[in-house]
Structure formats: C-alpha cells, structure tokens
Amino acid sequence: MVAALETIGLQKRFGGLTATDNVSFRLEMGARHALIGPNGAGKTTFINLLTGILPPSAGRILLEGADITRLSPEARVRRGLARTFQINQLFPAMTPLETLGLAVSERLGGGWDWWRVIGTKREIVDEIVEIARRFRLLDVLDERTANLAYGKQRLLEIAAAFACRPRVLLLDEPAAGVPEAERHELLETVATLPRDVSVLLIEHDMDLVFSFADRISVLVNGALFTEGSVQEVSTDPRVQAVYLGESVDE
C-alpha cells in the first residue's frame, strides 16, 4: 500500500552540519505516528523539509506516492499536507472566523475572489461552523485572536491547519505551553481527529505520545535512530539511554 507520506534518503546540510541525515521514513495511511527525539535532534528541520520551507540537499518526499520534493509550501498544502506550529503562528488582528474563512475559501478556490465578502458563500459558512464546533471555537469565533485564551489559540492553530482538509497533518507539539485546565479540551480534539487524516505528531510530552500514537520514530542527531510500536520503543533501553540527561516529561 502506498504511504500517506514518505521520505527517501532525505538529507539537509547547513555547511558542515548535517541536520537531517539520510532519513527514509514512512507515514502509513490513517496512522497516528509520533516523532520524538532529544533537543537538537533535527525534528524542526525535518518538518521544514516536509512542508517545503527548506529545500533538501538530497532525497525525495512523496505525498501519497506523488513526488512533492520541488513543490512550494502552498502547493503542498493544496495537495493535502498541512501543519501546525510549535509556537503559535496566527493572525493576531483577525478573528478565528476570518482565519478559518480564509483557509476554507482558499481551499475551495475562492482565494482570488475580490468582488464579494466571504460570508456570501453558503458552503464556506457551513464548513466554518463545522470546524469551529469540532475545535470548540464557536463561542469565540468573533473575537480578536490576540485576545483569546492560550488554550483557544492552540485550538485555532490546529483548526486552521484542519481547515485545509489535509490528507496528512503534521502536529508540532500541539499541547506545548497549554495550562493544565485547558489541556484536556485540546487533547480530546486531537484524539478525535477523523481517521482518514494521517497524523504525524512531533512531541516532547511522553504522556501525550503514549496516549495518542500507535507508532513511534526516534530521531537522534538528524538520523532515524529506531522505529516501532509504542510498546517496543518505550521499553527499548537504547532509547532510554538517548534520553538520559533529558528530562522526560512526566
């Protein structure tokens, strides 16, 4: 079966530093896959290669079998590869409504519409409401994003990516910095993402990794160190050794 997302010999060098070292990785269809690794392991570089922010030095990236190595970030999004950011990348002056409306109308091909406001298209409104309900943003839709509680901003971060109707969703530490009180709401929406979306989770928080993922890959010094089921990786003494000195979040 063709993988949802696959890299073949992916490599990224910055001068003498090899940030991504010959990574061949498969994200299966419908997978809940976690990518972990100590700080500086190259997780962020890997994500930036996948999403097209950085061009790779060598190797290929396939999205559902199609080569996307040379596509621009926005073209990859249109092909169905969306991401969230570890540090919120939102539009502070806009409302969640506008943010979602923008993403939805962009996907439905209305991004060049200049003669009418977004709300005049029924299908777009329907979809905004559906996404807002899924991510529990209905009650704050019309507030300035900058004024939202941090937990709501994190939800919007995921909702905006989800509004692109991705086939593959890359979640970069979705729960980072979310206070305990708002955490539950966020984890629940992540857990209930539809199964036809394949998810790659980049995460530090082992609780979240173990509760969410069914496979785990470990990245160390830019290279894939090991990969396996949650059971295999969590009991692997070598992985524990790698994390020695790293605080594994309780």
Partner 1 sequence: MAPPALETVAAALTRKGRWKIGEIVFWLVAFASLFFLPERHLLLNEIAIIGLFAVSLDLILGYAGIVSLGHAAFFGVGAYVAGLTAKHLTGEPLAGLLAAAAAATLLGFVTSFLVLRGADLTRLMVTLGVALVLGEIANQASWLTGGADGLQGIALDPILGTFEFDIFGTTAYAYSLTVLFVLFILARLIVVSPFGLSLRSIRDNSLRARAIGIPVHRRLIAIYMIAAAYAGVAGALLAQTTQFVSLDVLAFHRSADVLLVLVIGGVGYLYGGLVGAVVFKLLQDFLSGLTPQYWQFWIGLVLVVLVLAGRERLTEGARGLWTRPRARQGGSPEPVPTTPMRET
Binding site for partner 1 (CB under 8 A): 51, 53, 72-74, 77-78, 82-83, 85, 89-95, 97-99, 101-103, 105-107, 110-120, 125-126, 128-129, 132-133, 138, 141-144, 147, 160-161, 163-164
Cβ of residue 69: shortest distance to partner 1, in angstroms?
Answer: 17
Q: How far apart are CA 29 and CA 26, in angstroms?
A: 9
Using the minimum distance from each CB to partner 1, give the nearer residue, 117 or 181.
Answer: 117
Using the minimum distance from each CB to partner 1, give the nearer residue, 138 or 191.
Answer: 138
Q: Can you name the residues that pair with 220 across neighbouring β-strands? A: 223
H helix runs in the chain, sequence order: 43-51, 73-79, 96-107, 122-134, 150-162, 180-191, 206-212, 230-235, 237-243
Using the minimum distance from each CB to partner 1, give the nearer residue, 11 or 105.
Answer: 105
Cβ of residue 150: shortest distance to partner 1, in angstroms?
Answer: 16
Cβ of residue 222: shortest distance to partner 1, in angstroms?
Answer: 23
Using the minimum distance from each CB to partner 1, give the nearer residue, 98 or 182.
Answer: 98
Pairing of strands 81-83, 168-172: parallel
Phi, psi dihedrals of residue 12, rounded to the nearest 5°: -140, 120
Using the minimum distance from each CB to partner 1, give the nearer residue, 96 or 151.
Answer: 96
Cβ of residue 73: shortest distance to partner 1, in angstroms?
Answer: 5
Q: How far apart are CA 55 and CA 51, in angstroms?
A: 9
Cβ of residue 47: shortest distance to partner 1, in angstroms?
Answer: 11
Q: DSSP letter string over 81-145?
A: EEE--SS----TTS-HHHHHHHHHHHHTT-TT--SS-GGG-HHHHHHHHHHHHHTT-GGGTTS-G
**Nearest Cα to Cα of residue 199 among 212, 182, 217:** 212
Using the minimum distance from each CB to partner 1, give the nearer residue, 11 or 153.
Answer: 153
